[in-house]
């Protein structure tokens, strides 16, 4: 399975292409990764990158509104799109027979999306419902991905709410959309990935189809990507937010991590540190906080703000989150976390402990690779973010190569820096009986 | 973003000199034969289904143990014992403690998880294929010698009470509980989550007794899918699980009564900024004559994104992020669910549009074009959902519980192809008429109540 062949090309208009055949599956995936995420959206327009992602589904020159969904599903396929810190992806997975149709659909909207006032107003309403569903009407909404960054970061790109404020979403104009598209959706700022069953087309035929459909998109200047770097905090910053729906308090701790582009092995050692702390019944924080001390209901650790590693460029965030009973002072939880990190910073994990976590990683990666959709999105995201889709296929080996000493250093690095602590405080007693 | 106009206008972006282009045709769809399923019943009564599906060097296991309570009506104490059993099955055996169990599994990249609902206890596993013997060995150990240590159980009991309070603060849980009560009354299937009080009263002895009585092989099924030889896998199960034996048969849940038509119940959730609309009526089970037509009617109504209801309430009106309808299978039948979450101020409007679209299914039945799109989606998404070890394992386990085998899957495209527009119209008339539904609406009644009641059909 690690024998995947990666075929690359760059079209004359600058569009990057990655084709990764897999004859073992009857389905094929097509994705477009665009090098713009919510860190790049302008001040005063929070949530715009995500809103714009919605607009890209609203029709294009050859496809009236609703036609995109109907054509994908009517070909037996599934589709989605998502907006991350540093990129936005669009994809469909379909029976292999629909490969050319999928390429046509993606090319048509990358060339000439239909941006209208009516669709903009409609999708502002839809996005507001998405935010009510995922944030405003539920407990722990936006925890920690919206709530933690403003505590850890100082600059607008890193600190602001990527879902957006309602007032700013409402102020978005059609001209904002036109400007955003012309600036960021230049072909030279995007990557097309095809993975799975290429059918009778083969690799060369698929490359020819990509040239046929995407090749005449005119080249446009590619925006200069700014650095989002900012200094690592030297001390602890703490903030409390009220939550009217939450029955129990929660806390999140955020740390800065090494740059995955230039220090990949150190970055991966932080990912393994997160596993040693949080994954499985034998993990350090599970044993200490959940069972030995009985301080928390649940605890998690992750290298990456949005739930996993290697999903963003620098700066990225290491998070520890916990839900705990109101009777437990959050400082007791933090003290126990610090003690466990100190132990790891002093002695590191044991070799057996680490090899068990590596084995679980390998299994989890294979598990992901078993679905065309996840493997395609992983290859595309790593190619776009780091210029090396190979990272996705090399991960099991690179994870297995991480040493106890590297994990020890990671724990020490977290303890040596400042950090963000976010406290979620319930404002009302829950009405339900427990 | 005030614009120095260095960029094109929206109108300029949306057109090219060449103009709209024709859509390329679809190629020929590959036939995908499903792998052979080897089935064997062990002397203990455990049914084993094994499938070779290479691709990644992994194996997936699903052990389904029917796990209904002894009473014909919902039994809060049983539900609490079952939930706590599920949370503590992996916390200790005769020879290993909680951490040692996890270490043993992790060493071969494996994981076990446990889930329970009113119908069954499910022990699901996955791991590197090379570690299958260890995975089966640990599985056998917990099935035959789970010890439920007092200290572990008391701690998990405390956590479970906390987790239940978190779950019940979620609007979707509030809506689900109200919907299940509305659908099934006091039948045990309605009780999906115990109360914190009932959990707090469960003792370790009760959990051990519940295990002894209910965690039995006869009536249970183990599905294994992965990069393994099926016969060797079955032999390995026979060897590892040979000690798992009991006299009784796992207890299946009785068929619940299907919901009758009636007014919608308004459930007050103070401070809600959104409302949960949950409508329900009877559906058709997978083995029923006409299921394929019912499935296509459902897709056209609200079963996928390109459905009438979704295109109306999301893409036209902007009332919701998502709207979905679909069948839920229950012992002896199925129920149809029609579910969406909408902002408080458009709750009445969304209900109106929902009833309109249900009525339109009857008055203006799905067209041939709508049915063809739904049919291609049904076949294609089946192909995609089965294209992973985990997807195949879960599907086979669910079908087996309904008495259906892999042949049912194999023949599904043919059955879908055979459905006529007349059959879909009949299914729409029988299952989608607005008068056939009942349900619940959860939201801030002070905000949404008066306009909803004015529409009628609200209790």
CB burial string B359-374: b at 16+ within 10 A, e below: ebbbeebbeeebbebb
**A134 and B56 Cβ atoms separated by less than 8 Å:** no
Q: Which residue of A has its CA nearest to B30?
A: A26
Cβ separation of B7 and A129 shorter than 8 Å?
Answer: no
Q: Which of B27, B55, B273 sits opposite A136 (nearest CB)?
A: B273
Please, what sign has the CA dihedral across residues A380, A383, A384, A386?
A: positive
**What Cα–Cα distance (Å) separates residue A355 from each residue in A265, A295, B285, B348, B425?**
16, 28, 47, 57, 59
Residues of chain B neighbouring A250 (CB-CB closer than 8 A)? none
For residue B6, the model assigns a pLDDT of 83
For residue A315, whether the previous peptide bond is cis, meaning omega lies within 30 degrees of 0, is yes
Can you say how many angstroms the Cα of residue A192 is from the centroid of all Cα atoms in its chain? 18
Can you say how many angstroms the Cα of residue A8 is from the centroid of all Cα atoms in its chain? 23
pLDDT above 70 covers what percent of chain B? 98
Statement: residue B122 has pLDDT above 50: yes
Pick B37-240's CATH classification: 3.30.830.10, 3.40.50.620, 3.40.50.1220, 3.40.30.10: 3.30.830.10
**What Cα–Cα distance (Å) separates residue B38 from each residue in B43, B49, B51, B222?**
16, 6, 6, 12
For residue B209, the model assigns a pLDDT of 98
DSSP B324: E
Residues 6+ apart with CB under 8 A from B132: B59, B224, B226, B228, B233, B236
**B301 and B459 Cβ atoms separated by less than 8 Å:** no
Long-range contacts of range B173-176, CB-CB < 8 Å, 24 or more positions apart? Answer: B174/B267, B174/B269, B174/B276, B174/B442, B175/B267, B175/B276, B175/B278, B175/B440, B175/B442, B176/B278
Q: Which two tokens stand for residue B258?
A: 């299907």
Instruction: Report pTM.
Output: 0.94
Instruction: State mean pLDDT over B115-142.
Output: 97
CA distance B288 to chain A (A): 24
For residue B285, the model assigns a pLDDT of 96
Rounded to whole angstroms, the Cα distance separating A310 from B304 reads 32
Long-range contacts of range B112-116, CB-CB < 8 Å, 24 or more positions apart? Answer: B112/B138, B112/B139, B112/B142, B114/B86, B114/B87, B114/B89, B114/B90, B115/B86, B116/B67, B116/B82, B116/B83, B116/B85, B116/B86
Q: Which residue of A has its CA nearest to B345?
A: A129
Cβ separation of A66 and B304 shorter than 8 Å?
Answer: no
Pick B264-455's CATH classification: 3.30.830.10, 3.30.460.10, 3.30.565.10, 3.30.479.30: 3.30.830.10
Q: Which two tokens stand for residue B177?
A: 């509980």
**Pairing of the two strands A190-196 and A16-21:** parallel
Residues 6+ apart with CB under 8 A from A70: B306, B373
Statement: residue B4 has pLDDT above 60: no
- Torsion angle of the four alpha carbons B350, B351, B352, B356, in this order, in degrees rounded to the nearest 10: 100
Rounded to whole angstroms, the Cα distance separating A72 from A101 reads 8
For residue A307, the model assigns a pLDDT of 79
Cβ separation of A112 and B90 shorter than 8 Å?
Answer: no
For chain B, what is the radius of gyration of the CA atoms? 25
**B143 and B215 Cβ atoms separated by less than 8 Å:** yes
Residues of chain A with pLDDT under 50: 1-2, 430-434
pLDDT above 90 covers what percent of chain B? 93
For residue B310, the model assigns a pLDDT of 97
If pLDDT is split at 50, 70 and 90, which confidence band does B3 have? very low
Beta-bridge partners for B113? B124
**Pairing of the two strands A419-426 and A236-243:** parallel
Rounded to whole angstroms, the Cα distance separating B347 from A393 reads 48
ipTM value: 0.92
CA distance B400 to chain A (A): 23
Rounded to whole angstroms, the Cα distance separating A184 from A36 reads 6
If pLDDT is split at 50, 70 and 90, which confidence band does B34 have? confident
If pLDDT is split at 50, 70 and 90, which confidence band does B32 have? low
Q: Which of A28, A45, A76 to mutate to test the interface with B (most CBs of B within 10 A)?
A: A76
Residues of chain A neighbouring B318 (CB-CB closer than 8 A)? 121-126, 129
Cβ separation of B102 and A281 shorter than 8 Å?
Answer: yes
Asked if domains B37-240 and B264-455 share a fold, the reply is yes
Q: Which of residues 75-104 of B touch A (CB under 8 A)?
A: 90, 98-99, 101-103
Rounded to whole angstroms, the Cα distance separating A156 from A166 reads 17
B163 in A contact zone (CB under 8 Å)? yes
If pLDDT is split at 50, 70 and 90, which confidence band does B2 have? very low
Condensed to tens digits (0 to 9), the pLDDT of residues A326-356 reads 999 999 999 999 999 999 999 999 999 999 9
Q: Which of residues 25-54 of B touch A (CB under 8 A)?
A: 25-30, 32, 54
For residue B5, the model assigns a pLDDT of 60
Angle at CA A223, nearest 5°, toward A68 and A29? 30
Instruction: State mean pLDDT over B354-372.
Output: 98
Domain residue ranges of chain B, discontinuous segments joined by +: 37-240, 264-455
Task: Calculate helix-pair angle for B76-88, B204-214, nearest 10 degrees.
Answer: 90
CA distance B451 to chain A (A): 20
């Amino acid at each position: 399975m690690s024998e995947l062949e990666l075929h690359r090309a760059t079209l004359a208009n600058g569009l990057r292409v990655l084709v990764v055949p897999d004859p073992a599956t009857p389905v094929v995936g097509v994705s477009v990764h665009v090098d713009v995420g919510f860190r790049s959206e302008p001040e005063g327009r929070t949530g715009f990158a995500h809103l714009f992602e919605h607009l890209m589904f609203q029709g294009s020159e050859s496809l009236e509104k609703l036609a995109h969904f109907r054509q994908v599903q009517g070909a037996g396929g599934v589709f989605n799109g998502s907006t991350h810190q540093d990129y936005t992806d669009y994809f469909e997975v379909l029976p292999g027979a629909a490969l050319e149709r999928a390429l046509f659909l993606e090319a048509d909207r990358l060339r000439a999306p239909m941006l209208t006032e009516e669709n903009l107003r409609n999708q502002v309403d839809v996005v507001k419902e998405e935010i009510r569903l995922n944030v405003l009407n539920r407990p722990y909404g936006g925890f920690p991905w919206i709530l933690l960054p403003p505590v850890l970061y100082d600059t607008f790109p890193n600190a602001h709410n990527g879902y957006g404020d309602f007032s700013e979403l409402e102020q978005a104009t059609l001209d904002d959309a036109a400007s955003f598209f012309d600036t960021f959706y230049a072909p030279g700022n995007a990557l097309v990935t095809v993975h799975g069953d290429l059918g009778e087309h083969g690799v060369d035929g698929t490359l020819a189809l990509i040239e046929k459909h995407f090749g005449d998109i005119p080249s446009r200047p590619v925006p200069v990507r700014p650095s989002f770097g900012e200094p690592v905090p030297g001390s602890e910053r703490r903030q409390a937010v009220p939550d009217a729906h939450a029955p129990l308090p929660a806390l999140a701790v955020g740390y800065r991590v090494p740059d995955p582009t230039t220090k990949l092995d150190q970055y991966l050692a932080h990912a393994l540190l997160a596993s040693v702390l949080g994954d499985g019944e034998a993990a350090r924080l599970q044993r200490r906080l959940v069972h030995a001390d009985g301080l928390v209901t649940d605890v998690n650790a992750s290298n990456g703000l949005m739930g996993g590693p290697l999903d963003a460029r620098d700066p990225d965030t290491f998070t520890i989150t916990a839900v705990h009973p109101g009777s437990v002072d959050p400082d007791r939880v933090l003290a126990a976390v610090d003690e466990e990190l100190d132990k790891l910073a002093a002695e590191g994990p044991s070799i057996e402990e680490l090899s068990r976590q590596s084995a679980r990683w390998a299994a989890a990666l294979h598990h992901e690779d078993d679905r065309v959709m996840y493997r395609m999105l992983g290859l595309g995201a790593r190619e776009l973010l780091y210029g090396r889709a190979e990272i996705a296929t090399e991960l099991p080996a690179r994870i297995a190569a991480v040493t106890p000493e590297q994990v020890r250093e990671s724990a020490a690095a977290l303890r040596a820096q400042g950090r963000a602590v976010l406290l979620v405080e319930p404002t009302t007693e829950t009405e339900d009986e427990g | 973003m005030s614009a120095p106009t260095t960029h094109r206008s929206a109108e300029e972006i949306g057109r090219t000199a060449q103009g709209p282009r024709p859509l390329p045709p679809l190629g020929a769809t590959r036939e995908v034969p499903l792998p052979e399923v080897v089935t064997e019943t062990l002397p203990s009564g455990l049914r084993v289904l094994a499938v070779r599906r290479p691709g990644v060097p992994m194996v997936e296991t699903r052990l389904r143990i029917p796990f209904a309570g002894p009473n014909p009506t919902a039994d809060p104490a049983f539900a609490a014992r079952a939930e706590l059993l599920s949370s503590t099955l992996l916390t200790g055996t005769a020879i290993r403690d909680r951490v040692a169990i996890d270490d043993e599994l992790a060493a071969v990249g494996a994981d076990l998880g446990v889930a329970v609902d009113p119908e069954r206890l499910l022990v699901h596993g996955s791991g590197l294929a090379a570690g299958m013997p260890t995975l089966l060995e640990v599985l056998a150990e917990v099935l035959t010698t789970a010890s439920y240590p007092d200290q572990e159980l008391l701690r998990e009991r405390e956590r479970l009470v906390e987790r239940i309070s978190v779950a019940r603060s979620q609007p979707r849980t509030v809506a689900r509980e109200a919907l299940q009560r509305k659908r099934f009354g006091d039948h045990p299937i309605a009780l999906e989550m115990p109360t914190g009080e009932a959990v707090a009263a469960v003792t370790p002895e009760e959990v051990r007794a519940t295990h002894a009585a209910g965690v039995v092989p006869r009536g249970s099924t183990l599905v294994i899918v992965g990069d393994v030889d099926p016969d060797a896998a079955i032999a390995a199960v026979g060897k590892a699980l040979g000690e798992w034996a009991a006299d009784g048969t796992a207890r299946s849940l009785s068929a619940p009564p299907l919901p009758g038509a009636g007014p919608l119940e308004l459930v007050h959730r103070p401070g809600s900024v959104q409302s949960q609309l949950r409508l329900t009526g009877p559906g058709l089970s997978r083995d029923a004559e006409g299921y394929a037509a019912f499935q296509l009617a459902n897709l056209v109504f609200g079963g996928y994104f390109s459905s009438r209801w979704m295109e109306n309430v999301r893409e036209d009106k902007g009332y919701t992020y998502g709207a979905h309808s679909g069948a839920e299978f229950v012992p002896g039948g199925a129920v149809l669910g029609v579910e969406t979450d909408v902002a408080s101020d458009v709750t009445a409007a969304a209900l109106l549009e929902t009833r309109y679209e249900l009525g339109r299914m009857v008055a203006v039945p799905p067209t041939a074009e709508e049915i063809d799109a739904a049919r291609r989606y049904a076949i294609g998404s089946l192909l995609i959902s089965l294209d992973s070890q985990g997807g195949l394992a879960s599907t086979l386990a669910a079908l087996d519980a309904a008495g259906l085998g892999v042949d049912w899957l194999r023949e599904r495209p043919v059955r879908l192809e055979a459905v006529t527009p007349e059959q879909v119209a009949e299914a729409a008339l029988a299952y989608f008429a607005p008068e056939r539904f009942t349900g619940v609406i959860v939201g801030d009644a002070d905000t949404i109540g008066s306009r909803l009641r004015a529409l009628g059909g609200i209790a």
